[in-house]
Amino acid sequence: MLPFKLIYDDRYDLHLGAHVFPSQKYRLVRERLLAEGLADPGDFLSPEPATDGDILRVHSQDYVYKLKNGSLSYTEILRMEVPYSKELIEACWLAAGGSILAARHALIDGWAANIGGGFHHAYPDHGEGFCVIHDVAVAIRRLQFDRAIETAMILDTDVHHGNGTAAIFGGDGTVFTLSIHQEHNYPFPKPPSTMDINLADGIGDDDYLSILESHLQKAFTEFSPHLVFYVGGADPYREDQLGGLALTMEGLARRDALVFDYAKRHQAPVAITLAGGYARRVEDTVRIHVGTILAARDAALKKSKASAPGAAGEREKERGAISRS
């Protein structure tokens, strides 16, 4: 049994067949966690779809209308790079509901993971790069609306820059966005995040980890979030078909551990989303995502040993302060 909840629904799978986006990976991650005895069926929660009101805190009315009524133009559908269907829309609303649920459980347990989501290329008025609805932004806006949090930090380690994230939160002092990505890769242009780390092609484990660590240090010095959203892409992996970095599986596990260590040291609850992963062998992508869950488990267990009543108490006090303010 895991010390936190996993959010998952079979309808996350878009059944895209031979598409480069392996949406069956969500189901495979769940199956592997269960098969290896790393999680119990009771660890999983099924989300409700986000409401239209939730989606509309981030996305434009016109775009949401077109998504719901199937009236996107051919060019708009091409730009999404996933075929339009009613099931796609259902999956996107569910993934956003899943990230809301993960965020809520992160505030309760310190950690939670949506076995899906991380659609960081979605803009308020259009979808692109396999991303239709920005589930992480929807979740942050919902929790801010509920006054459960005031501030959030998005730590995005997907190999591709979080352009939708940057566009949504640019100029918003309540949300700190960090993206560490391959510079010479999609998307173009890259609107500025609060902190962008542009990596050269072919960077390996040691360089990546030391660059990431120095920026995490800086980010947490500058900003103290009520919640961290981790967009933990599997695509910095050296065997990725859409990435040009050279991280190993071990390096990716160290990356996750490093991110979680920083969040824990700063007493920030963490909501995890999976984001991209296009390894030649889908089993590799699944293994990397499972590794992210295991790194969170290890960090969570370490935390309870180091004793966190103090930290949890501090968070409780802070939440009390928010609800009073």
Residues of this chain that bind Zn ion (CB under 5 A): 158, 160, 233, 235, 276
Q: Measured from the CB atom, is 127 or 233 closer to Zn ion?
A: 233
Q: How far is the CB of 235 from Zn ion (least distance, A)?
A: 4
Candidates 134, 154, 160; CA nearest to 228 is 154
Residue type, 271: A
In sequence order, what are the beta bridge partners of 176? 153
Residue nearest to Zn ion as judged by C-beta position: 276
CB of 236 to Zn ion, least distance (A): 9
Min. distance of Cβ 121 from Zn ion in angstroms?
A: 8
- Rounded to a whole number of angstroms, the minimum distance from the CB of residue 240 to Zn ion is 8
Q: Report the residue number, 110 or 276, with the smaller CB distance to Zn ion.
A: 276
Q: Name the minimum Å distance from CB 160 to Zn ion.
A: 4
Could you tell me the CA-to-CA distances from 131 to 20, 61, 123, 245 in Å, in that order?
14, 17, 9, 22
Judged by beta carbon, residue 46 or residue 241, the one nearer Zn ion is 241
Residue owning tokens 């959203």: 229
Place of tokens 């949890």: 312
Strands in 115-266 per DSSP E: 152-156, 175-182, 195-199, 227-231
Between CA 140 and CA 121 the distance in angstroms is 16
**Does a cis peptide bond (omega within 30 degrees of 0) precede residue 187?**
yes
- Strands (E) across the chain are located at 5-7, 44-45, 111-114, 152-156, 175-182, 195-199, 227-231, 270-273
Q: Which is nearer to Zn ion, 158 or 205 (CB)?
A: 158
Nearer to Zn ion, 246 or 299 (CB): 246
Cis peptide, bond prior to residue 189, ω within 30 of zero: yes
Q: Which residue's CB is nearer to Zn ion, number 205 or number 235?
A: 235
Smallest distance, Å, CB 159 to Zn ion?
5
Q: Please give the DSSP secondary-structure letter assigned to residue 294.
A: H
Which tokens hold the place of 76? 């708009």
Give residue for tokens 């947490």.
220
Report, in Å, the least distance between residue 237 CB and Zn ion: 11
Spatial strand order of the sheet with 195-199 comes to: 44-45, 5-7, 111-114, 270-273, 227-231, 152-156, 175-182, 195-199
Which residue's CB is nearer to Zn ion, number 49 or number 116? 116
